[in-house]
Amino acid sequence: MDMKVGIIGSGIGALASAIELRKLGLTVEVFEANSVIGGKIVEQLLGGYRFDMGPSVFTEPHLVQKLLQSLDPTQDFKFHRLEESCRYFFNDGVKLIIPVGKENVAQVISDTLHEEPSQTKHYLNRMEANYKAIYPVFIEVSLHRFRQLFSKHLWKAIARLFKYGLHQSMNKQNQSFFKNPKTVQIFDRMATYNGSSPYLAPAMLNIISQLEFNEGPAMPIGGMVQITRRAHQLAAQHGVRFHTNERVTAIQYRNNRIVGLHTENGTYNFDVIVSNMDIHYTYEKLLPYLKAPRFLLQQEKSSSAVVFYWGVNRTFNELGVHNIFFAADYKAEFKAIFETKTLHPDPTVYIHISSKVEKTDAPNGKENWFVMVNAPINVGQDWDLEIQLLRKQILKKLSKALQIDIEPLIEIEQINEPRLIDERYSGKQGSIYGNASNNAFAAFLRHPNFSKQIKGLYFAGVTVHPGGGIPLAINSAKIVARCVKEDYGL
């Protein structure tokens, strides 16, 4: 069947969709409003420093490998397997380096935070079992198509129903396992991986610990940008056409079927459209006359972020690839983000330093710091003032923890913040993952990967099912391809 597919956006969800649909023999074109392919996974060179501008945590690297090899079996995606998941710093001076693997994690948490190793291993074993039960049911298939959902895997997932903590928040479940509030805070942090609050998000999301602690993170050789760069190169080599600096302005349909799309440069005919754009803006900007699923789109939005990209004229042995400097009052920080829509005066600060493993990312004797604070979405705050105050708070916090004045060491600086995330990446109000998961039914309140109103319209990326993060975005593309195959008998 000679079908033409138009894909809106070029994040990893879009690129994975292009590869999966090209694999089916379809003609595919990708439209990107910016000058560079990659969505949020892009890089920037600043004065001898290289920065990955978006996602910095990379788990399940086999998904990228399989994606590339699905078009070309000779593809090999190289990465560093990190021995640490993260380094944690608390305001009272307590520090710990969490390694990878259940035994190692349990021992370090026992040595520093005095938890029973057997209890930590019990927790991590449960999260592994939960993850493996949930994965083929909630992540690999559409929740919105019975033919995909109902399988032998569903019954296995249901058999563990009472193990998920469906009646609890992430925080409540973690409190039931651990005695030390610091341990609870470490495991609560997993909620930030999809822009949610651990005090509201369902305990089901504690399965993220399986990726963070049991399997551990990786780092692509050449940086995070290699994920989208390699996918782009492979797709282009296999005939996918890419349009940059060409913003899509409307999705066109007739008689409830896709007929094409309109861009700033012209009109294109397509049989299938895949939107990798934020689901809210897909409806608001590209489908203004279509009745939108208001209930889904009116859910609370995920957090945003303020990121400082600093070229630092020194190396720090105390720091690793991933580092967290915790807020003393974690609950108050999330209340500020989601309730009062403000930046907490003592924020949790995350520092990613790719030059720890990618030595050419910073000049010799220096480091590239990606310094991020979780932030509320943009509701009209005075961001110029807020960012100025936040910068001072971060510098004060880091200088105290590292026992050196950080500001004089900063040679290069660039900033990303909610207004820019909205403008550059079409994340509504600066939200990074679309809807937050601050609801017991969060898994069921993400938009499907297909339209129930228009045949030929599909959705991929972190703002739709199955959710936020690179692995889930890749899985969203696989679900899109499966739905297209079902719908068109391919």
Give the residue carrying structure tokens 């560093």: 80
CA 73/CA 182 separation, integer angstroms: 45
Q: How many domains in the chain?
A: 3
For residue range 102-150, what is the model confidence (pLDDT) as tens digits?
999 999 999 999 999 999 999 999 999 999 999 988 888 888 887 776 6
| CATH classification at residue 244 | 3.50.50.60
Does one domain contain both 418 and 308?
yes
pLDDT of residue 1: 62
Last residue of a domain, one of 378, 397, 425: 425
Q: Is 91 within the bounds of a domain?
A: no
Does one domain contain both 199 and 247?
no
What is the share, in percent, of the chain residues with pLDDT greater than 90? 89
Start-to-end C-alpha separation, the chain: 8
- Cα 262 off chain centre by: 29
pLDDT over 90 (residue 280): yes
| CATH classification at residue 386 | 3.30.519
Q: Among candidates 410, 407, 317, 402, which has minimal Cα distance to 356? A: 317
CA 188/CA 421 separation, integer angstroms: 25
Average pLDDT of the chain?
95
Does one domain contain both 184 and 71?
no
Does one domain contain both 207 and 245?
no
The secondary structure element, H or E, covering residue 490 is none
Does one domain contain both 198 and 117?
yes
Tokens of 166: 């469906």
**Are 65 and 75 in contact, with CB atoms under 8 Å apart?**
yes
The alpha-helical segments, DSSP class H, found in 55-178 are 61-71, 102-113, 117-134, 146-149, 152-159, 170-177
Task: Output the CA angle 417-419-423, nearest 5 degrees.
Answer: 115
For residue range 232-262, what is the model confidence (pLDDT) as tens digits?
999 999 999 999 999 999 999 999 999 999 9
Could you list the residue range(s) of the whole structural domain that residue 33 is in? 4-40+65-78+224-298+442-488
The pTM assigned to this predicted structure is 0.95
> Average pLDDT for residues 273-298, to the nearest whole number?
94
Q: Is 463 within the bounds of a domain?
A: yes
> Average pLDDT for residues 28-52, to the nearest whole number?
97
Q: Is 93 within the bounds of a domain?
A: no
pLDDT category at 2 given cuts 50, 70, 90 is confident
CA 324/CA 322 separation, integer angstroms: 7
Does one domain contain both 387 and 321?
yes
DSSP summary character for residue 339: I
pLDDT of residue 138: 86
Peptide bond into 466 cis (omega under 30): yes
pLDDT of residue 97: 98
